């Protein structure tokens, strides 16, 4: 049997989705097709379709990852996001050829390294990768456990920030209650983001800046919980809101269609000069692009703000959008 490989276009999204959903079963077909169609628009991603006698029998998806990828030394890195062959067509070298198409595409983008991943229990995928020249870089096991509600009183006291005071007489009990609330929210967001597509880490961060009511940048000395979606963004659980920090290359930021971000509250700023702001509410897209174009920054930082009531699923959908649109961190 002869395999024909070609780069998928937007009109092929449903065909790819029908193959992909056999591997990514937690998706809805129509939604997955729409997600793949958006991905195909990105210059930093590609999907190859494999056909035998005019029938689609497999696909491979890869894209560029700009931040650190486990075991690599360069950036960007070509990354295999998914590969699938219909069962009746396996063990004929078709997956290898689709992988080679992805590797050649990555080389054309200037990459010198290529990477991938699989679930720990997926021994078939592990054998596939090792047989095609991949070397195992690391293994990660994620853990979770329910927490006792040790800092909730029997009366189930409402833990809200408007009852807190950051004056010198704030008690450790107040701090514990506040951070308990942040911990619960971070856990909710972490569970929403926990997905085959993302590698996550949890931790704390301080030294962040925010604008006060006068528009001044004020440093925050207290630590806030962070979820690091590796290579893509940081999700910060603040006292009053949720912030997602990410980046675009300067060129992509100048050319980006900001209409896709309509309805989202965001800031755009320098990465080298963190206090250099490029966007003010009310600015037009042309003004924002002109400000970025005049700067000497190589990368542009973006911070998106959400209400504290954003759900884990809503955050997952937003982070998927960042990935489709070529954002990185």
Residue 35 lies in a domain: yes
- What does the alpha-carbon distance between residue 245 and residue 253 come to, in Å, rounded to a whole number? 15
Residue 156 lies in a domain: no
User: Do 20 and 123 fall into the same domain?
Assistant: yes
Last residue of a domain, one of 131, 153, 183: 131
| Most confident segment among 41-55, 155-169, 205-219 | 41-55
User: Do 197 and 127 fall into the same domain?
Assistant: no
Beta bridge partners of 47: 61
Residue 171 lies in a domain: no
Coil, strand or helix: which one is 143? coil
Does residue 157 have a pLDDT over 60?
Answer: no
Distant-in-sequence, close-in-space partners of 8: CB < 8 Å, separation ≥ 6: 15, 16, 36, 40, 47, 48, 49, 59
Does residue 304 have a pLDDT over 90?
Answer: yes
As for how many domains the chain has, the answer is 2
Last residue of a domain, one of 92, 107, 131: 131
Structure tokens at 99: 């992988």
Q: Name which of 24-38, 53-67, 129-143, 146-160 the model is least confident about.
A: 146-160
Q: Beta strands of 1-158 (E only): which ranges?
A: 4-7, 45-52, 55-65, 77-85, 114-115
Predicted pLDDT of residue 164: 46
Whether 276 and 222 have beta carbons less than 8 Å apart is answered as no
User: Do 88 and 200 fall into the same domain?
Assistant: no
Residue 52, burial from CB neighbour count under 10 angstroms (0-12, 13-18, 19+): middle
User: Do 16 and 84 fall into the same domain?
Assistant: yes
Residue 95, burial from CB neighbour count under 10 angstroms (0-12, 13-18, 19+): buried
Mean pLDDT of 94-112: 96
User: Do 25 and 118 fall into the same domain?
Assistant: yes
Predicted pLDDT of residue 159: 45
User: Do 195 and 125 fall into the same domain?
Assistant: no
User: Do 115 and 195 fall into the same domain?
Assistant: no
Residue 147 lies in a domain: no
User: Do 118 and 217 fall into the same domain?
Assistant: no
151 φ, ψ (degrees, to nearest 5)? -105, 20
**DSSP single-letter state for residue 259:** G
271 φ, ψ (degrees, to nearest 5)? -90, -40
Q: Name which of 106-115, 208-217, 288-297, 300-309 the model is least confident about.
A: 208-217
CATH number for 72: 3.40.630.30
User: Do 206 and 306 fall into the same domain?
Assistant: yes
CATH number for 298: 3.30.930.10
Residue 151 lies in a domain: no
Last residue of a domain, one of 131, 147, 174: 131
pTM above 0.75, yes or no: no
Q: Which of 313, 302, 62 is nearest to 192 (CA)?
A: 313
Predicted pLDDT of residue 13: 95
Residue 178 lies in a domain: no
Predicted pLDDT of residue 137: 85
User: Do 197 and 292 fall into the same domain?
Assistant: yes
Residue 146 lies in a domain: no
Distant-in-sequence, close-in-space partners of 85: CB < 8 Å, separation ≥ 6: 50, 57, 58, 94, 95, 98
Q: Which is higher by pLDDT, 98 or 272?
A: 98
User: Do 14 and 99 fall into the same domain?
Assistant: yes
Residue 166 lies in a domain: no
Does residue 312 have a pLDDT over 80?
Answer: yes
Predicted pLDDT of residue 147: 61
> Which residues constitute the domain of residue 105?
4-131
Per residue in 284-320, is it b (16+ CB within 10 Å) or e — as a string?
Answer: eeeebbebbeebebebbbbbbbbeeebebeebbebbb
Distance between the two ends of the chain, CA-based, in angstroms?
43
């Amino acid at each position: 049997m002869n395999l024909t490989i070609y780069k998928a276009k937007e009109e092929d999204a449903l065909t790819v989705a029908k193959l992909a959903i056999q591997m990514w079963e937690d998706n809805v077909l129509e939604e997955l097709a729409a997600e793949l169609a958006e991905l195909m628009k990105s210059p930093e991603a590609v999907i190859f379709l494999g056909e035998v006698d005019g029938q689609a029998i497999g696909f491979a998806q890869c894209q560029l990852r700009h931040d650190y990828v486990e075991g690599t030394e360069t950036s960007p890195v070509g990354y295999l996001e998914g590969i699938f062959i219909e069962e009746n067509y396996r063990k004929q070298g078709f997956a290898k050829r689709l992988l080679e198409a992805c590797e050649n595409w990555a080389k054309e983008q200037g990459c010198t390294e290529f990477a991938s991943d699989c679930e720990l229990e997926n021994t078939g995928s592990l054998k596939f990768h090792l047989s095609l020249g991949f070397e195992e870089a690391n293994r990660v096991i994620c853990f979770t456990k329910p927490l006792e509600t040790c800092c909730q009183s029997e009366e189930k006291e409402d833990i809200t920030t408007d009852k807190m005071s950051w004056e010198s007489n704030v008690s450790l009990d107040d701090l514990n209650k506040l951070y308990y609330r942040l911990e619960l929210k971070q856990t909710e967001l972490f569970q929403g983001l926990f997905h085959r597509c993302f590698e996550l880490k949890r931790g704390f961060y301080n030294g962040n800046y925010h604008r006060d009511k006068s528009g001044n940048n004020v440093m925050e000395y207290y630590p806030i919980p962070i979820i690091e979606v590796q290579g893509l963004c940081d999700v910060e659980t603040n006292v009053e809101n949720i912030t997602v920090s990410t980046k675009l290359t300067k060129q992509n930021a100048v050319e980006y269609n900001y209409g896709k971000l309509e309805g989202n509250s965001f800031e755009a700023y320098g990465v080298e000069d963190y206090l250099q702001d490029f966007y003010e509410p009310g600015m037009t897209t042309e003004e924002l692009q002109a400000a970025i174009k005049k700067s000497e920054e190589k990368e542009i930082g973006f911070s998106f703000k959400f209400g504290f009531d954003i759900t884990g699923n809503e955050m997952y959908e937003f982070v998927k959008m960042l990935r489709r649109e070529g954002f990185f961190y």
